[in-house]
Structure 1
Amino acid sequence: MSIKIIQANIQGWKTNKDEIISVATKEDADILCLQETWQKTAENTQIKGYKIIQSCREDGYGGSLIAIKGCYKIGKTEIAETKSHIQVATAEIMDLDIIVSSVYIRPGTPIATYKYTIQKIITDLRESRRCKKVLVGDFNAHHQSWGNINEDSRGELLINELNDTDLMLMHNKEPTFINPDPSKSNSAIDLTIINATMYLKAKRTVTDIQIGGSGHRVIVTEIEGRGKKRDKTVILNSTSLACDIYKMNAPEYFDLNRFTKEMTTIRKANTKTITVTPKAWWDMEVEKAYEEKKTANKNYSANRTLENEINAKRKLARFRFLKKVNKTKNWEKWLERVDEQKSSSELWRLIAKCKGSKWKNDNINAIHSDLEKAKEFMKINFPNVRQANPTMVRSNITTEEELLDIKKWTRIMESKKNTAPGMDGISYGMLKMLNEEYTDRIIKDLNERWKRGKVARGLKTIKIVAIPKQGKDLQDAKNYRPISLLPTLTKMANSAVLEVLQEYTEKHHVIPSTSFGFRKRKSIHTATNLLVNEVYKNNREGNNTGVIFVDIKSAYNCVNIVKLTRILQAYMVPEGLVNWIFNLLTNRIMEIKVGKQKVTRVVSHGLPQGDVLSPTLFNIYTNELHKVNHGGRTRVIQYADDFIIMAAGTIEYIQTELQRSLDSFTNTAKGLDMEVNREKTKLMIFPREANVDINLNGQAIEKVKEYTFLGTIIDQKLNFQKHTNAAIQKAQRKLDVMKMICNRSNNIRPEKALQVHRSIIRGSMEFGASLINNANKNTLAKIDKVLHQSLRKVTGCTRTTPINSLMALAAEIPSSIRRKYVIAKEMVKAIAYSVANRQQLANVKRSATKKRYSGQELSAIENGTLTKRIPTFVPNDFKHCDIVIRKNMPGLLGSKSDQNTQAAKQICCEYINKNAKDRPRIYTDGSLTDDKCGIGIVIQEPVTTREWAYKLERNVAISTVELAAIDRALKLAIARNVRRPIILTDSKVTCEALKNALESDIVEETICNVLSNCRYAEATIQWIPSHVGIHGNERADILAKMGTTSDRIFENKESLKDIIRNLKNQMMVEANQWYTQYSADKGKTLYRVQTVIPTKMWHNKMSLKPKEIRIINRLLAGHDYSKYWLAKMKITNNENCESCHEPETGRHKTFSCVRYMVERRNRGITLERFEKSFREKDATYLKTVASFVIQNRIEF
């Protein structure tokens, strides 16, 4: 059964009565919520079969009404009128466990009246004990969040009030009022508001029906109830599946078809279809407890003895405990998948899966449900292109190098998520379940195919999924994007191939420095900031900048495989790579499913979107497009298939240069079988509009004042106001997700909720931080408001809590200070990893001009001395070389604290004597005291022992100190012609960093020096435990401490991590200064016990429950929902305690109210001891205080 609610502004009950009854009957509505009924108080309103609750105005205008089916039992009702401006009708329906409020707010309502009424309605809903809470009506408020073009103060107030509660808006931004004046825009002023826990069970539809001539559209809201028939759900028994796959016997020779059939058979055997969506947290242990509970209840019903009663209660308690624990674990597991890239709909889908609910999706995919449309879709995206027959352009060459081994297979597998499988139905998760023997057979088979350069038909049979384009007509096949799902074995092989290909392209500079798409250590921000920084620089120099945003039609689908192969060969890409790529991309089978039918095409052109190889191959294929600059100030910036052509100078120069560059670009693209899309290609001139006309194929391309490039809205004035507002709206939509996650019933710990906040709320606000920093103060204040609303959900704080207290309790940094750090961090990484950005930022200096600098440029100026110390990254010539670096000691197991010191010393000495016999031994150590760094070196040769102590010129992290010690020791050894030494260090972190460097494409200069000198001196690096009595290690430790005060200075270099650590330290210093200054006026209560913003929440690693943490947070902040603070918010009139006749706050009720004097005395509850326990992190006493509040039902 579902609850159906109809809401409508009817503008007159008497004139539209028949129409209203007709709609109610047709829709079989349970509840009608009507606004502008235009009834006087004395007039009787009747609807057959419905009970009426209405609020009327004396003048006969306005009015709000709720009509409830007569079969339902109505509880508390309330009607309210506020000075003829606002009418509210509220009713509780006991049978449906729902409270409904219908409100009409007249246009022009004073903002103070509006605020008071909204706060009162929301407070009443919040305090109601009904599970379902619905607020509907004509609010006459405008805000972009629910689909209006403009915003007003009422809309801003309403969204802020809702964001501080667990109530959320249901909307798809549809207009609800159709303006009769065609010159005026339609608006969305009829709103539907529900509590967050209902969102997954509610569906809102704005119909085309209008009652009378009101212009307001009828809105139907359906709330899912019990007994509704569900769609069938397919579930997989993962435990049984893993067991069956692991038991598979490995054949002597691997056969792909046989393997696929066997895996499919096992998967189907462990799959069943059910009509009820299973709860993700209901595992075998919960099932067992549930059955035991049922049995115990049955026994008690049959024989009502005390023993059976106690047993039944025990089993019930155990079942409830396991259920609660598993629900929490399940939430935390699913929340690991949350990141800032996920949209609001994706997050809700994730939550629905977590809760075991069906995700409501009203959009039918026309491609996967209509065979003819599927054929049209395949024809559009995979046409029959005439090109040379796909035969090898060079002779068939085999390679002896192996593509995969078990180590690489495991590493790649660990990096993969369990994404959608290909046509064979085999997922990464299923491959992980295979036994070692079977995995070896697969690796051997893939290596044989790699060596021959032959890709089996089954490995290039690709499943196509049609993804709809946002905001497009979904009945048109052109409005879907093809995504390729390759077989998982192919994806594994291609991941290994990609590593080889990327290593070659980076080493030989095959891809241009201004091509950023899908390259290691480069991002969309690297590309966007390169563009924006260049425009700012040109503006300061008095030059105009012309930018063409180039769009290529179906870029990936247009790639000519034969031409791609020749380009790869021209760049001398290894022949094994070329063979594999050519065989993979030619004669591949593309299949799309429509029910039980398939549409198939054999394709030998284009790159499959969804394959890990495609972006890198596209970067190589389009290299020629970067060569449009023939000595002028023209630059091409590329990210995947998004291109920019930019030129700077006078208007005349820009006109000539851009036209020539675009012509060259277009001709080169044609030679690559690609076509520039004139309709989507745009021109923008900075800093203001200018008379520049650029033609493409004889027609002018459109000039724009703003353009969305890689998710960033770039405007001509470079104030990024629209981009910032879009980021705020995105975060506001995700606030509803935070409300669901932080709902008390989910029992999520604040630390986990904070992780989600940082990902989806703070992350949205920091996307393009250097650009957002240009927005005006009012817009930046809106960012703070959304962040604070989210943090209140995380911490359980109230809206009156001072911002400094909120930040300290959440261990968060104010956004303005953190934004500086994020910009600086982006700037440092851009200089370190991107040649183009380094050339742009490394030497930027502040000049006398009043013209602005970009966020990154300002950061580079402010951190000038630090940017000069950014380490140089160089190509790693020692990748996969045979340098021996051991980060473990054979025989030593477990952590250092678990080991016997004497035994550890004996094991180490035996190992060293055995493996370093007749070899020089070099002991190194580092020391960090009072921000001074020292290193100690001991070189033991058969005849002599030499010792050195150095002070490091720069203060760095201890891991960098240890690395500097090894670096200096190797240089000393080489200078003294010490050969084949074994370097013994007690820094496992440094050993791991050096070992990982052997797998990296580029490394910092210091690490490169260490690897180079290790190779030259034939040195081995071995980790040993510290402070176990090894003489050389103890001596190096003493020397390192001496080094901190030594006059002998070693000029060390900072690592990139050290640079970023310094920036973070600067941020924390500035944040704590802000916290101290702010606390002089507000938030003094918390500041007395916590004088700094911590790096982690105060309850980190404490055994406190989420509810207890929320109670303690409110007591610490001194702000809550007690009578005193409700009076401050003007929600209640009386602020005093009825017993003590003094302001009733949470602190008063907990620590001094006479009502709880006896219980308080028995538990030893005092404010002084509470504050002392907080300072000393005494979790036991804090838990006692929280349990006192809970058990005495003290609410605040």
Structure 2
Amino acid sequence: MDKIIQYNINGFYNNFVDLNLLSKDYDPLIFALQETHLTGRSTPTFSGFQIFWKNHPSNTAKGGTAILTKSSLQASEVPLRTSLECTAVQTRIHGKNLTVCSLYLNPNERINYENLQNLLSQLPTPFLILGDYNAHSTTWGCISTNTRGRVIERFVFENDLVVMNNGSFTHISSSYGSLAAIDLSICSPVLSLSFNWEVARDIYNSDHFPVILTSLDASVNITRRRRWKEDQADWVSYQRQIQGRLSLNGSLPVKVQADKFSEEILKVAELFVPRTSIQVRKKYVPWWSVEIKDAINTRKRLFRVYRRNPSAENWSAFRIARRRAKSLVIEAKKKSWQAYVERIDASTTVKEVWDKMRKLSGRFRGAGPVEILSTDGYTTEQKVIADTLAEAFSRNSDDSHLTETEVDARNRLHQLNIVSENYAIEDLNANFSLCELNSALSKVKGKSTGSDQISYSLLKNLPLNERKNLLSLYNEVFSEGQLPELWKNAVVVPILKPGKDPLQPVSYRPISLLSCLGKVMEKMIAVRLTWWLESNELIPRNQSGFRKARSTTDNLAFLQHYTVRALNAGEHVTWVSFDLEKAYERVWRINITNQLKLWGLRGRILKYIENFLTDRSFKVAVGTLSPTADFSKMESLRVASLACHFFWWP
């Protein structure tokens, strides 16, 4: 269920650990914070969230409000003209507009009724006004009613608003342990039955309890694609059971053999390799430990003891336990970071660094968009979302962006009679060897699978005889030049581009997941083709990307050297930098094959490449594998892992 957390944090940085724990425990969409104590000297950040904030008018470390919204939500700040300490944001949840306002009313300042009315007039409806009002009234659970409480009562009554509180205490005095209900959740009448209101049982590190608002509307059932738990696999039993089951039947078409090959691997894998659930679990952070869990449980237990028997001794014991739990979390995060930094060396890839930093911060990739703007309006249905994204991705590479002249020019390219140069190609068309297969398997990484659900580890752990059968399958595919359909069908996962509107289909970048069976063969083809191109010096010398012992920074180094040399000689330097929009989606495949033919490529490897580039399709996955129909890619290389960069060289 989707949640909003209202919390007087008593210092954003002082109790930053609370945000980590609350995010882990409740996974909220929105935080509405009071008493952030922020100043203009720093910009607050929290991984996975956008932050909107307003500091105390004096810009000193007191008061202040903030609203944190998940990055997957489209949210915009509502401009407010008011002297009150408040922040308001407009967003959408379950396809409905919602305004959330975080308000802090200082107990030492007089409440001005007109200021409250002015704030109300600026909030788009429907709205939630969540805050620390520092107002006492028996209406919402206090022992008595004070002047400030009567002002808030009048404000609620005259504007036909609803106080969502259920009478539970929300504040505990840090000095005496006395309880009060001064944090209020006020809403438009239309929202009164849309949320369940409750106070968290744990006090965390502030003197206020977090308030949890849980949406009662039907939540989007966020799921994820299942993965193999390779670290828990029984590989010995897997190898024993699969022995003798992958023999090929030469009388069957190669596509049928490939399908049966995959089916047999999956049957055995299901027995000995566990898989993840499709349900999204609670967040995991690498600094979490049994000691921290026990310390937090002790803190909770001692607070319950104090609630049952409110004595000075029990209050002191609770405060000691709370300080210990907080210090353990801070120290664990520090040690986790230090331990990781010490393990970084020259062999650590950039991807590994960023993945680890993401885990250390508790930031995880989402399961895809939960709402999007389709042709029929806003929708939260996963199938409609997937279809909408598939249509948007397909448009990137269809002919709608071409003029008639450009279409005619491309068609004429198919009719060219290519006269090739003479380069030796015999080695390129020979059968693949076991050495080539072993080399390819040793270099492939990753756990993601294509539509056939075969992972690299399932292939790497094949016993020798079955690995030889895999090699025979690859050689049959190479001989026929016809790839199995599943090898050319991509599962596309939409990833939101940084800073883009999550409701717009064009805001997502398609990430293609292809069959690992097919990608291992592509790896062997790529090694051969790269060797041939490099040996014959067919790759431009200024091409640095995706080349062995080369990097795109080589071009920057050359540019710097050229510029400095020219300036020292008293000359001028002019250089142009540009980015090709939708470069991989709109490259003409016929140009690739024509260039290869011009260079003299022929035989089985050319036939493989031509088939590799034709009849490719994709489906979009939102959560679990979506039921979208296959979409064809007219000219895109985005769904071809080998071609995505390799075929840009010519």
Give the TM-score, by structure 2 length.
0.53
Quick one: structure 1 residues 569 and 223, their matched pair in 2 at CA, closer, same or farther if it must change by over 3 Å? farther
Map 1:1057-1136 → 2, pairs under 5 A: none
> What SS does structure 2 have at the residue aligned with 1:463?
strand
Match of 2:369 in 1: 364
Match of 2:444 in 1: 416
Quick one: structure 1 residues 423 and 375, their matched pair in 2 at CA, closer, same or farther if it must change by over 3 Å? same
Match of 2:629 in 1: 599
C-alpha displacement of 1:588: 1.7
C-alpha displacement of 1:492: 0.8
Retained in 2: the 8 A contact 1:380–1:478?
A: no
Map 1:482-497 → 2, pairs under 5 A: 482-497=510-525
> What SS does structure 2 have at the residue aligned with 1:137?
coil
Quick one: structure 1 residues 272 and 178, their matched pair in 2 at CA, closer, same or farther if it must change by over 3 Å? closer
> What SS does structure 2 have at the residue aligned with 1:598?
coil
Match of 1:426 in 2: 454
Quick one: structure 1 residues 503 and 546, their matched pair in 2 at CA, closer, same or farther if it must change by over 3 Å? same
Match of 2:596 in 1: 568
Q: Does 1:251 align with 2:281?
A: no
Which amino acid in 1 is paired with 2:84? S
Match of 1:515 in 2: 543
Bigger relative contact order, structure 1 or 2, given CA contacts below 8 A and separation 6+?
Answer: 2
CA distance in 2, matches of 1:441, 1:410: 13
CA distance in 2, matches of 1:545, 1:191: 51
Match of 1:376 in 2: 391
Q: 1:407 aligns with which of 435, 452, 464?
A: 435
Quick one: structure 1 residues 373 and 224, their matched pair in 2 at CA, closer, same or farther if it must change by over 3 Å? farther
C-alpha displacement of 1:253: 2.7
Quick one: structure 1 residues 232 and 373, their matched pair in 2 at CA, closer, same or farther if it must change by over 3 Å? closer
Retained in 1: the 8 A contact 2:418–2:597?
A: no
Quick one: structure 1 residues 138 and 209, their matched pair in 2 at CA, closer, same or farther if it must change by over 3 Å? farther
Q: 1:261 aligns with which of 249, 260, 263?
A: 263
Provide Cα deviations, 1:966-1002, integer angstroms capped at 9, x if missing partner: xxxxxxxxxxxxxxxxxxxxxxxxxxxxxxxxxxxxx
Structure having the higher Rg: 1
Provide Cα deviations, 1:10-44, integer angstroms capped at 9, x if missing partner: xxxxxxxxxxxxxxxxx784x53589xxxxxxxxx
Q: Does 1:273 align with 2:277?
A: yes
Retained in 2: the 8 A contact 1:253–1:441?
A: no
Match of 1:341 in 2: 350
Retained in 1: the 8 A contact 2:491–2:619?
A: yes
CA distance in 1, matches of 2:277, 2:526: 39
CA distance in 2, matches of 1:362, 1:207: 25
CA distance in 1, matches of 2:344, 2:464: 28
CA distance in 2, matches of 1:362, 1:452: 39
CA distance in 1, matches of 2:553, 2:610: 33
Provide Cα deviations, 1:663-699, integer angstroms capped at 9, x if missing partner: xxxxxxxxxxxxxxxxxxxxxxxxxxxxxxxxxxxxx
Match of 1:177 in 2: 54
C-alpha displacement of 1:256: 0.7
Which amino acid in 2 is paired with 1:32? N
Retained in 2: the 8 A contact 1:247–1:435?
A: no
Quick one: structure 1 residues 476 and 611, their matched pair in 2 at CA, closer, same or farther if it must change by over 3 Å? same
> What SS does structure 1 have at the residue aligned with 2:620?
strand
Match of 1:214 in 2: 84
> What SS does structure 2 have at the residue aligned with 1:247?
helix
Provide Cα deviations, 1:85-105, integer angstroms capped at 9, x if missing partner: xxx999x99xx99xxxxxxxx
> What SS does structure 2 have at the residue aligned with 1:273?
coil
Retained in 1: the 8 A contact 2:615–2:632?
A: yes
Map 1:276-675 → 2, pairs under 5 A: 277=281, 339=348, 341-342=350-351, 346-351=355-360, 359=364, 361=366, 364=369, 370-384=385-399, 387-388=410-411, 401-594=429-622, 596-608=626-638, 611-620=641-650
Quick one: structure 1 residues 33 and 430, their matched pair in 2 at CA, closer, same or farther if it must change by over 3 Å? closer
> What SS does structure 1 have at the residue aligned with 2:389?
helix
C-alpha displacement of 1:557: 1.8
Which amino acid in 1 is paired with 2:38? F
The number of residues matched between the two structures is 420
Deviates more, 1:508-517 or 1:474-483: 474-483
Q: 1:142 aligns with which of 37, 41, 52?
A: 41
Which amino acid in 1 is paired with 2:247? P
Quick one: structure 1 residues 394 and 360, their matched pair in 2 at CA, closer, same or farther if it must change by over 3 Å? closer
Retained in 2: the 8 A contact 1:171–1:192?
A: no
Match of 1:32 in 2: 8
Retained in 1: the 8 A contact 2:544–2:555?
A: yes
Retained in 1: the 8 A contact 2:36–2:64?
A: yes
CA distance in 2, matches of 1:279, 1:471: 23
Quick one: structure 1 residues 257 and 235, their matched pair in 2 at CA, closer, same or farther if it must change by over 3 Å? closer
CA distance in 2, matches of 1:449, 1:224: 62
Retained in 2: the 8 A contact 1:590–1:600?
A: yes
Retained in 1: the 8 A contact 2:394–2:632?
A: no
Quick one: structure 1 residues 536 and 392, their matched pair in 2 at CA, closer, same or farther if it must change by over 3 Å? closer
CA distance in 2, matches of 1:499, 1:171: 39
Retained in 2: the 8 A contact 1:538–1:545?
A: yes
Quick one: structure 1 residues 478 and 361, their matched pair in 2 at CA, closer, same or farther if it must change by over 3 Å? closer
Quick one: structure 1 residues 572 and 240, their matched pair in 2 at CA, closer, same or farther if it must change by over 3 Å? same
Retained in 1: the 8 A contact 2:444–2:520?
A: no
Match of 2:27 in 1: none
C-alpha displacement of 1:439: 1.3
C-alpha displacement of 1:467: 2.4
- Root mean square deviation of aligned Cα: 5.4
Provide Cα deviations, 1:192-249, integer angstroms capped at 9, x if missing partner: 89xxxxxx9xx9x997596953364155899997999997785745455633365222
Quick one: structure 1 residues 401 and 224, their matched pair in 2 at CA, closer, same or farther if it must change by over 3 Å? farther
CA distance in 1, matches of 2:366, 2:525: 38
> What SS does structure 2 have at the residue aligned with 1:253?
coil
Retained in 2: the 8 A contact 1:245–1:263?
A: no
Which amino acid in 2 is paired with 1:177? K
Return the structure number with greater helix share. 1
Retained in 2: the 8 A contact 1:399–1:452?
A: no
Match of 2:310 in 1: none
Retained in 2: the 8 A contact 1:244–1:266?
A: yes
Structure 2 gap segments, 5+ residues each: 23-32, 58-62, 88-100, 103-129, 132-198, 205-211, 251-256, 291-331, 373-381, 401-406, 420-424
Retained in 2: the 8 A contact 1:468–1:481?
A: yes
Map 1:859-1008 → 2, pairs under 5 A: none
Quick one: structure 1 residues 175 and 342, their matched pair in 2 at CA, closer, same or farther if it must change by over 3 Å? farther
Retained in 2: the 8 A contact 1:245–1:433?
A: yes
Quick one: structure 1 residues 476 and 528, their matched pair in 2 at CA, closer, same or farther if it must change by over 3 Å? same
CA distance in 2, matches of 1:399, 1:391: 29
C-alpha displacement of 1:403: 4.6
CA distance in 2, matches of 1:179, 1:539: 52
Match of 1:69 in 2: none
Retained in 2: the 8 A contact 1:418–1:428?
A: yes
Retained in 1: the 8 A contact 2:39–2:55?
A: no
C-alpha displacement of 1:517: 1.4
Retained in 2: the 8 A contact 1:400–1:451?
A: no
Match of 2:113 in 1: none
